[in-house]
Amino acid sequence: MEIQKESVAVIGAGIAGATVGRALALAGHPVHLFDKSRGPGGRLATRRVEWVDRQGHAATTRLDHGALGFTARSATFQAFADLAQKAAWLAEWKPSLAAGSLPLEGSAMLYVPVPDMPALCRHLLDGVSASWSFAVDGLHRGPLGWQVQAGGVSHATPFDAVVLALPPAQAVHLLSPHRLDWARHASVAPMQPCWTLMGIADEPEPSLGWDLARPATGPLAWVLRNDTRPGRAHVAGQAHWVVHARMGWSCRHLEQPAAWVQQQLQAALAAYLGRSVEWRHCVVHRWRYALPQSHGTAPAASYWWDSAQGLGVCGDFLGGCGIEGAWLSAQALSAALLQRASDAAGASTACADAAAADAADPHQR
């Protein structure tokens, strides 16, 4: 007898949601992803900026303004990174560090999705159905299953299960009606913010001699030349900068106007470089929830799963810091979901066998 696989809605198409979506789709479950953005990636982010060059020509440049890249600490994530690299979804980046920079923690090599950061999630979700620009603001559980809503409009079909793969603060209002205990944990899960400056500047030097800096002091935590990263476009005479402020600085100035923040970070970059920067285009982005706080109290479980309701939660705030943590959390939740499906299939096969045996044995009727 063919068992109908449970349908699953995954809210959030960052690395956690994309990992769950792929695992379930590969196991034959009908899966649908929902994301408020125009495409997948989440904090694996690349922005396409449009600007006008010195000659008055329109130009576009892509800047990786979220995660810089990642390392693999666990054997399972290393195996995933190896496969992704073999498939040419990832490249190795061994950045030259600026003189006097703090060293990279752990490995001197980072994996970088190519040609842009969301590419990793795009590949994972190849062939999986999704709704973009769909900011989920309501989850309702009725007799037919879970209804997923945005702006008062419900998605056409209900789902047997729902997975939330969102930063904790964004999951709270969706969880509250169904698991108040989880909503309370999520509402206090500490996340650090980050102000990011990105832009294009004239570059008089043919080569700066370094790709990445971690200044030991001052407002800047990371300074990177995006155009020297693997798979990124390099244009002679241009420098493509992405600059992340320190957590403390970002916290103190979180509510400042973007124009003020831009001015401060531009000045900090010029001070760090020891020369002025001729900007052609520049913009800032405020990440309210960039990374879980490493000294925060992480919840004990690496994912949350309520089998009775068919409701799950995963993401970096549960699995540990960064992309690897988000991936590990998503893998663990996928395994729990697939286990439930296999238990249900086992129970249903056992019932079918028992019914057949009953039919064959008249004394059992």
Ligand X SMILES: Cc1cc2nc3c(=O)[nH]c(=O)nc-3n(C[C@H](O)[C@H](O)[C@H](O)COP(=O)(O)OP(=O)(O)OC[C@H]3O[C@@H](n4cnc5c(N)ncnc54)[C@H](O)[C@@H]3O)c2cc1C
Amino acid present at 327 = W
Query: Which span (39-47, 138-146, 155-163, 231-239) binds ligand X, by CB under 6 A?
Result: 39-47
15 sits near ligand X (criterion: CB under 6 A):
yes
| Residue of the chain from 287, 303, 304, 305 that contacts ligand X (CB under 6 A) | 287
Structure tokens at 242: 């992405």
Using CB under 6 A as the criterion, what x/- string covers residues 244-263 for binding ligand X?
x-------------------
User: Token pair 């600490």 is at which residue?
Assistant: 73
Q: How far is the CB of 171 from ligand X (least distance, A)?
A: 8
What CA–CA distances, in Å, run from 39 to 30, 174, 291, 345?
A: 20, 21, 21, 34
Using CB under 6 A as the criterion, what x/- string covers residues 57-86 for binding ligand X?
---------xxxxx----------------
316 sits near ligand X (criterion: CB under 6 A):
yes
List CB contacts of 132: < 8 A, sequence separation 6 or more: 35, 37, 38, 39
43 sits near ligand X (criterion: CB under 6 A):
yes
Query: Which span (12-20, 207-215, 225-233, 339-347) binds ligand X, by CB under 6 A?
Result: 12-20
118 sits near ligand X (criterion: CB under 6 A):
no
**Phi, psi at residue 303, to the nearest 5°?**
-160, 165
CB atoms under 10 Å from CB of 52, counted, come to 11
Query: Which span (94-102, 160-168, 227-235, 297-305) binds ligand X, by CB under 6 A?
Result: 160-168
CB nearer ligand X, residue 8 or residue 323: 323
242 sits near ligand X (criterion: CB under 6 A):
no
Structure tokens at 150: 């945005």
Please say whether the beta carbons of 101 and 212 come within 8 A: yes
What distance in Å separates the CA atoms of residue 323 and residue 22, rounded to the nearest whole number? 16
User: Token pair 């979220």 is at which residue?
Assistant: 66
What distance in Å separates the CA atoms of residue 268 and residue 71, rounded to the nearest whole number? 28
Q: Which among 246, 196, 194 is positioned nearest to 216, based on CA atoms? A: 246
Query: Which span (5-13, 52-60, 265-273, 331-339) binds ligand X, by CB under 6 A?
Result: 5-13
Please say whether the beta carbons of 337 and 8 come within 8 A: yes
Please say whether the beta carbons of 84 and 120 come within 8 A: yes
192 sits near ligand X (criterion: CB under 6 A):
no
8 sits near ligand X (criterion: CB under 6 A):
no
Sign of CA dihedral 274, 276, 279, 284: positive
Count of residues interacting with ligand X (CB under 6 A) = 36
167 sits near ligand X (criterion: CB under 6 A):
yes
What distance in Å separates the CA atoms of residue 293 and residue 69, rounded to the nearest whole number? 18
Using CB under 6 A as the criterion, what x/- string covers residues 195-234 for binding ligand X?
-x--------------------------------------
CB nearer ligand X, residue 8 or residue 194: 194
Binding residues (CB under 6 A) for ligand X: these are 11-17, 34-37, 42-44, 66-70, 135-136, 165-167, 170, 194, 196, 244, 287, 290-291, 315-316, 322-323, 326
